[in-house]
Amino acid sequence: MDLSYSAEHEAFRQQVIAFLKKHKTLAPVGAGLRSAKTRDWQALLIEHGYTARTIPREYGGFGAKPDLLKGRIIAEEFARAQVPGGLSGQGIAMLVPTLLELGTEEQKQQFIRPTLSGEMIWCQGYSEPGAGSDLASLKTSAVLEGENWLVNGQKIWTSTAQIADWIFCLVRTEPDAPKHKGISFLLFRMDTPGIEVRPLVDMTGLANFNETFFTDVVVPKNQIVGFRGEGWRVANTILGNERDSLGNPNATLSRLNALIRLMKSETVGGISLISMPAYRDRLMKIQGRVMALRFNDMRILSAKLNRKDASLARLIVKLQGTELRHDLEALAIDAMGEAGLCFGESDYLRDGGSWQYQYMYFLGLIIGGGTSQIQKNIISERGLGMPREPRVNANTAT
Amino acid sequence: MDFGLSEEQTLLQDSVNRFLADQVSLDKVRLFTKNGDTDKQIWTSLCTLGLGGILIPEELGGTGLSPMDATIVAECLGYRVTPSSFLSTAVMAPVALIASSKREDLLSASAEGNHQFGLAFSEAIGSRDGSGLNWDGNVLDGTTVFVQDLNADTFLVATKEKHLLLVDAKATGVEKVEVPNIDQTRVMGALSFKRSPAELISENIDVYHQVLDAGRVMLAADTLGAAQNMLNQAVAYAGQREQFDRVIASFQAVKHMCAEMVANLEPCRAMVWYAGHALNEVKDEARVTACHTKAHLSEVGQFVAKTATEVHGGMGFTDLVGLHYWFKRIGYNRQMLGSPELLREEAASLQDM
Ligand SMILES: Cc1cc2nc3c(=O)[nH]c(=O)nc-3n(C[C@H](O)[C@H](O)[C@H](O)COP(=O)(O)OP(=O)(O)OC[C@H]3O[C@@H](n4cnc5c(N)ncnc54)[C@H](O)[C@@H]3O)c2cc1C
């Protein structure tokens, strides 16, 4: 273990602090994804290397050498200053790392830069009504006709499909192959004729995800990542990244800081929430869990840099990270008590209702991206080498 | 000794359940959350069953049943996420008025379904910044927040000193502001008063606690019903949904989720019954039991709400199956009239710990 902060790192921290002090007011709080403010902020962060830090310059990143401690310093100082970091949609969190690993040079040139800048927004078309946990049973088909794929079928739970410019989509291209071997990974524009997006309202009252229908959607032949029939492998590269991003301990740290602030400022019967022993203890428990996951994250990053497999440490991130966030948001609501019930504009709403919203949203994320139960299957089977559940023939099961 | 529901109570439960299954569909609940104006209609129909006057003596037009019976009804109402002012109109206000022999006129009107109460207890339970009441023995000034059943005709207000007052919603200086809350089956708000006439109902702290205990037990029962419904929905869904060529109910992981829900929930049923019974029959245990029952049901309810949603996968997170109405109802019950931490603290102090 070598965690010494060199003089260089101390200087770097001062740079980040100075940057935040100077530019804080430019941060897009509550601005739309498409707003100039959001894009300008993203450009500024990339320019200084505070997001997309290790992505090569030629693709629109900052191009720095990976440095664990600098990454940590950036996360800490942004969280401390309560300033939003860089963008992190499905395109940035999932597609970019996958293209870097498996995309053609042409694809990297075409997609990474506009995705990082926030200009090109993506959605993820995996799940179908009949293919959720059993994703590999998906049925949306793509048939090669001349120079194009012809896509037909339906996706569901497609987050942000209503605003996305492009979709990365799993389709069945080899109907006769075994189910994991017959899938391909296509990229196509959401304004292609034959795509219909129908919003689905979720428990928070928003309609952030959708049903997406494809009828004879024409996709140029070269808009495939990896080879035909390799889509499952490509998707799994992405799923690893998705799972890491869903449990992101740095985002959790920002929320923890916000929670501490809330508990210091709110009072019941004249006593601040943070000084009430029961809430105080719960807060400290949450802080301990956040700490453990943050160090775990450093261990994973470190293993990545040293080209070692972080194995179990990485496998547990989605499960632990989403459950932790759900519990963290729950504490805020409990501590506020009746005030925690407010949802929608009023004088008594705190932090714009984000506690109630995130509490529900993270229940969604406990389910989305592979449910907690599926995570536990993966952890026990891949992580602990335990045997798979015996396959039961549907007809003989009683 | 017989621990359980009597024959009459089982009949009551069955008839209320059948009535609600028929009258309070999820579609009707959805309609209420959009328009808000169907609650009077739901309330009127509940009153045809005599539920509005369940605790009100027969000579005042009520049915004169026991708090235990009211507990059974509260569970049924929770099961159907029924929008109604049962807690205020049929339980807490009558307990207060009967204990202090006041306002028989309002009790009669309530029993007939022509009058509804609302509750303003936050000042007594835990006052927030920006609120505070001042009663000079005649008129009331100030603001109280997180009022339940804001559309009421009369409010039962508890002050910091734990005095109970009645204020007519139309009295001078009374202003209502709706405070949108997470559970759209309940109408919450803030009340402010400017030299508003208020009638003293009780200065007796025992009466205040009797009212509060009853309310807490009703909320616990409501959670019991709501959680039971979520569990039932989860089991039914798991028996139909197929993944990996088999119904998901055949996965041990899914079975264990359901088994854990029922293992936690089943003892709650006995606990709620006992708490309901204790309200009138085991007075020296009523308060501690009420505190623990509401706190415990809040924890179990929260676990069931989350787990039942998880069993439904993505579907559970949508508005399509409407599970969130139960989820949010359980969430609301958890915070109203004392959140679990406050209740456990109260239970400990009551036992001189
Ligand atoms: C907020 C949110 C956003 C989402 N965004 C997207 C998106 O952008 N793009 C996209 O493609 N999808 C998205 N999804 C879909 C998500 O990936 C699926 O919901 C998830 O994989 C579960 O699938 P399902 O909903 O079909 O549930 P099911 O697979 O039907 O699961 C139901 C229950 O059965 C359990 N179960 C199933 N199989 C097993 C097993 N083998 N062992 C043990 N338990 C099992 C599950 O754990 C769950 O409890 C999103 C979902 C949510 C909630």
Distance, CA of A108 to CA of B16 (rounded, Å): 64
pLDDT value, residue A398: 38
Q: Are residues A337 and B182, on separate chains, in Cβ contact within 8 Å?
A: no
pLDDT in tens, A15-35: 999 999 999 999 988 778 889
pTM score, whole prediction: 0.95
pLDDT in tens, B67-87: 999 999 999 999 999 999 999
pLDDT value, residue A249: 87
A249-265 and A317-336 helices, crossing angle to 10°? 10
**B 107-166: CB under 8 A from A:** 122, 125-130, 145-146
pLDDT value, residue A392: 64
Task: Look at residue B38 and tell me whether its pLDDT is greater than 80.
Answer: no
Distance, CA of A4 to CA of B154 (rounded, Å): 67
Task: Look at residue A397 and tell me whether its pLDDT is greater than 50.
Answer: no
Q: What is the CATH architecture assignment of A247-383? A: Up-down Bundle (1.20)
B70 touches chain A (CB under 8 A): no
pLDDT in tens, A115-128: 999 999 999 999 99
B7-115 and B206-352: same fold?
no
- Between A97 and B35, name the one with better pLDDT: A97
Query: How sure is the predictor about A5, in pLDDT bands with cuts at 50, 70 and 90?
Result: confident
Q: Are residues B181 and A376, on separate chains, in Cβ contact within 8 Å?
A: no
Mutate to test the interface with B, among A338, A345, A362, A392 (most CBs of B within 10 A): A338
Most confident of the following: A26-30, A320-324, B123-127: A320-324
pLDDT value, residue B187: 93
Task: Look at residue A378 and tell me whether its pLDDT is greater than 90.
Answer: yes
pLDDT value, residue A281: 97
Q: Are residues B309 and A339, on separate chains, in Cβ contact within 8 Å?
A: no
Percent above pLDDT 90 for chain A: 78
**B 182-221: CB under 8 A from A:** 182-183, 188, 190
B251 lines ligand 1 (CB under 6 A): yes
Task: Look at residue B184 and tell me whether its pLDDT is greater than 50.
Answer: yes
Assign A230 to helix, strand or coil.
coil
Q: How far apart are the two ends of chain A, measured CA to CA in Å?
A: 54
pLDDT in tens, B289-333: 999 999 999 999 999 999 999 999 999 999 999 999 999 999 999
Task: Look at residue A305 and tell me whether its pLDDT is greater than 90.
Answer: no
Q: Which residue of A lies nearest to B309 if distances are taken between CA atoms?
A: A363
Q: Which residues of B touch A366 (CB under 8 A)?
A: 306, 310
Query: How sure is the predictor about A395, in pLDDT bands with cuts at 50, 70 and 90?
Result: very low
Distance, CA of A162 to CA of A123 (rounded, Å): 9
B232 touches chain A (CB under 8 A): no
**ipTM of this predicted structure:** 0.95
Task: Look at residue A248 and tell me whether its pLDDT is greater than 90.
Answer: no
B4 touches chain A (CB under 8 A): no
Q: Are residues B316 and A367, on separate chains, in Cβ contact within 8 Å?
A: yes
**Average pLDDT of chain B to the nearest whole number:** 95
pLDDT value, residue A291: 96
Q: For a ligand 1 pocket test, name from A139, A155, A157 the mutation site with the most ligand atoms within 8 angstroms of its C-beta.
A: A157
Distance, CA of B243 to CA of A130 (rounded, Å): 7
Q: Which residues of B touch A336 (CB under 8 A)?
A: 335
Q: What fold characterizes domain B206-352?
A: Butyryl-CoA Dehydrogenase, subunit A; domain 3 (1.20.140)
How far is ligand 1, taken at its centre, from the CA of residue A28, in Å?
Answer: 32
How far is ligand 1, taken at its centre, from the CA of residue A311, in Å?
Answer: 23
Q: Are residues B314 and A356, on separate chains, in Cβ contact within 8 Å?
A: no
pLDDT value, residue A222: 95
Q: How far apart are the two ends of chain B, measured CA to CA in Å?
A: 31
**A122-230: CATH, from 2.40.110.10, 3.30.930.10, 3.40.50.300, 3.40.50.2300:** 2.40.110.10
Q: Are residues B179 and A346, on separate chains, in Cβ contact within 8 Å?
A: yes
What positions of A carry a catalytic annotation? Answer: 242
Task: Look at residue B1 and tell me whether its pLDDT is greater than 80.
Answer: no
Distance, CA of B325 to CA of B306 (rounded, Å): 12
Q: Which residue of A lies nearest to B160 if distances are taken between CA atoms?
A: A269
Mutate to test the interface with B, among A124, A128, A134, A203 (most CBs of B within 10 A): A203
Q: Which residues of A touch B128 (CB under 8 A)?
A: 267-268, 338-339, 348
**B118-203: CATH, from 2.130.10.30, 1.10.630.10, 2.40.110.10, 2.60.40.150:** 2.40.110.10
The residue contributing the CA closest to ligand 1 atom 25 is B314
Provide mean pLDDT across the span B19-28. Answer: 93
pLDDT value, residue A393: 58
pLDDT value, residue B146: 94
A159 lines ligand 1 (CB under 6 A): yes
Mutate to test the interface with B, among A134, A206, A348 (most CBs of B within 10 A): A348
A344 touches chain B (CB under 8 A): yes
A134 touches chain B (CB under 8 A): yes
| B181: CB partners within 8 A, 6+ apart | A341, A342, A343, A344, B188, B332
Least confident of A298-307, A380-389, B19-28, B52-61: A298-307
Least confident of A206-215, B26-35, B89-98, B180-189: B26-35
Note the helical H segments in chain A.
Answer: 7-23, 36-48, 68-81, 90, 96-102, 105-107, 113-117, 231-246, 249-265, 277-305, 312-315, 317-336, 354-367, 372-378
> What are the extents of the domains in chain A?
7-87, 122-230, 247-383
Paired tokens of A285: 């428990």
Q: What fold characterizes domain B7-115?
A: Butyryl-Coa Dehydrogenase, subunit A; domain 1 (1.10.540)
Query: How sure is the predictor about A250, in pLDDT bands with cuts at 50, 70 and 90?
Result: confident
Q: What is the nearest CA distance from A356 to chain B, expressed in angstroms?
A: 8
pLDDT value, residue B117: 97
Q: Are residues A341 and B257, on separate chains, in Cβ contact within 8 Å?
A: no
> What are the extents of the domains in chain B?
7-115, 118-203, 206-352
Task: Look at residue A213 and tell me whether its pLDDT is greater than 50.
Answer: yes
pLDDT value, residue B37: 64
Distance, CA of A82 to CA of A24 (rounded, Å): 9
Provide mean pLDDT across the span A46-66. Answer: 95
Percent above pLDDT 90 for chain B: 93
- Which residues are paired to A186 by β-bridges? A169, A224
Provide mean pLDDT across the span B16-43. Answer: 86
pLDDT in tens, B211-259: 999 999 999 999 999 999 999 999 999 999 999 999 999 999 999 999 9
